[in-house]
Amino acid sequence: MKLKGLKGYLRMTEAQVQKKVGKELSKLGYAVYTNEKKQFIFALPRIDEVGLGIPVLLVAHTDTVGGSKGASKVFHDEKNGVMWSPEGLGADDRAGVFAVIELAKRHKVSVLLTTGEESGGIGARAFIAAYPSNEFGYKMAIQLDRRGDSEVVFYQNDSEEFQEYIQEFGFKKDYGSFSDISIIGPAWRINSANLSVGFVREHSNSEHLFVDSMIATINKVSKILAQEIPNFDYEERTYSYSRTYKPMTWFDNTGKERTSWIESDGWSYTGNNYRLAAPLEEDYDDNKSEGKTYDQLLDEGLADCHVCGNFLPTSEVMWANDDLIEVCLDCYNDDGGFYCGYCDDACLPSFCEMDEAVALSICDKCYYTYYLNEIQLDITKRLDGDDEDDDDKK
């Protein structure tokens, strides 16, 4: 399996990724469909003698948090099997896109790649609007958009038989907040699962991708697709999500040992520091009293920084980027935070779309609303002034 293609996806803009996968799937013999706004790419294998091929829909999303530019620099520690970028890697969910394409090369399976998953499932909703029922006869949908290693999230899906079947392939049940199958599964009443593809600390500049974990998931899903797909009754339940946190030791950029509340996956990252944190002690009991949920920590007056993930008193945390990003003062200062010269809102460069706006200390909103308008007005005034001068000369 060549990882050059993976690095390419990580560096591309979302539009480039969509164009690339469309061509790739066409070359593999797929019929590729989309809607007018290109909110999804739906690909069906052309196999007349066996209908639509394997009755499974593979799902991933092409958008990332923090913009659609892609990472210009991608680093790969081949010894430890880790990829990262100081700009934010975007492996959520470019790793999933890569995995889906690799599986489409091995098996004749249907593919759905959406956009706008990070904005509430825009592409998945558009897909369901275009295809309101499971007219293709899929027996299950598998999304490759889960953090960590060997985890599976079922969301509203409550079929114990289906859950046990997926876990037989080496996945352990966990809980997550949302993904495209949260929309597709209930709408089509189809059993669905979201599987880990190796990224951690997603939605931040300190995101990492454990390549071996991604490859392991690709191979596990390949085993699922190589077998006859069973039929499972669809069962649905009301679903809610609450992350659990525990105290843990980690290292800052200077190598200093620190302790803070960390998500209970056993690893921690901070800022642009790419060292693995100290693992939990083997005898640590998840049920001890110091393990607390996200809501419990908030009730204690703590807030979590979107960049480093630490829980701090709310007095030490601020909102940045038009009230979208919660960030501690240390990360704000370390990551080059600035205040917009127009609206005075706090901003983080890593979450701004326009490089020119960042260079001018202007937020994206004001860059478009005020700055460009002022430039246009200035140009108009200059042109009007030149015309007057020409009239005087005549």
Rank 36-50, 141-155, 362-376 by mean pLDDT and report only the highest: 141-155
Banded pLDDT at 252 (limits 50, 70, 90): very low
**How confident is the model at residue 292, as a pLDDT?**
60
Tokens of 115: 């956009």
Residues 6+ apart with CB under 8 A from 89: 10, 71, 74, 83, 199, 207, 208, 209
Tokens of 29: 């013999």
**How confident is the model at residue 290, as a pLDDT?**
46
**How confident is the model at residue 109, as a pLDDT?**
96
Pick the residue with more confidence: 304 or 284? 304
- Top CATH class of 4-226 equals alpha beta
CA distance 16 to 267: 32
Q: What digits encode the pLDDT tens for the residues 53-92?
A: 899 999 999 999 876 677 888 888 888 889 988 888 999 9
For strand 311-313 and strand 302-304, is the pairing parallel, antiparallel, or unpaired? antiparallel
Cα-Cα-Cα-Cα torsion 305, 308, 312, 317, nearest 10 degrees, comes to: -40
**How confident is the model at residue 256, as a pLDDT?**
59
CB 300 within 8 A of CB 310: no
pLDDT tops 60 at residue 285: no
Q: How far is CA 192 from CA 13, 63, 111, 163, 260, in A?
A: 28, 21, 14, 9, 35
DSSP designation for 118:
G
CA angle (21, 44, 24) in 5-degree steps: 20
**How confident is the model at residue 271, as a pLDDT?**
32
pLDDT tops 90 at residue 184: yes
H or E element that contains 286: none
Tokens of 244: 């659990």
Tokens of 389: 């001068």
Q: How far is CA 184 from CA 85, 122, 140, 149, in A?
A: 32, 12, 11, 24
- Mean pLDDT within 11-25: 91
- SS3 helix, strand, coil % of the chain, rounded to 5? 35, 25, 40
Q: What digits encode the pLDDT tens for the residues 362-387?
A: 887 787 777 676 666 665 666 666 54
Q: What digits encode the pLDDT tens for the residues 345-364?
A: 888 887 776 677 777 888 87
Sheet with 30-33, strands from edge to edge, namely 30-33, 40-45, 109-114, 54-61, 140-146, 191-196, 151-153, 172-173
Residues 6+ apart with CB under 8 A from 149: 196, 198, 210, 213, 216
Least confident span in 28-37, 97-106, 160-169, 263-272 = 263-272
**How confident is the model at residue 270, as a pLDDT?**
33
Tokens of 18: 């969509």
CA distance 207 to 204: 6
- Mean pLDDT within 330-342: 84
pLDDT tops 50 at residue 283: no
CA angle (260, 119, 185) in 5-degree steps: 100
pLDDT tops 50 at residue 276: no
Sheet with 208-210, strands from edge to edge, namely 75-77, 82-84, 208-210, 199-200
Mean pLDDT value across the chain:
79
pLDDT tops 70 at residue 277: no
CA distance 83 to 78: 8
Under DSSP, is residue 272 helix (H, G, I), strand (E, B) or coil? coil
**How confident is the model at residue 217, as a pLDDT?**
97
Ordered by start, the domain boundaries in the chain are 4-226, 301-394
Pick the residue with more confidence: 27 or 344? 27
The percent of residues in the chain predicted with pLDDT above 70, rounded, is 73
Under DSSP, is residue 75 helix (H, G, I), strand (E, B) or coil? strand
- Mean pLDDT within 205-231: 94
CB 235 within 8 A of CB 185: no
**How confident is the model at residue 302, as a pLDDT?**
78
Residues in the chain: 394
CB 249 within 8 A of CB 259: yes
Least confident span in 75-79, 114-118, 183-187, 294-298 = 294-298
0.85 exceeded by pTM? no
Under DSSP, is residue 376 helix (H, G, I), strand (E, B) or coil? helix
HSE at residue 128, side-chain half, CA atoms within 13 A, is 15
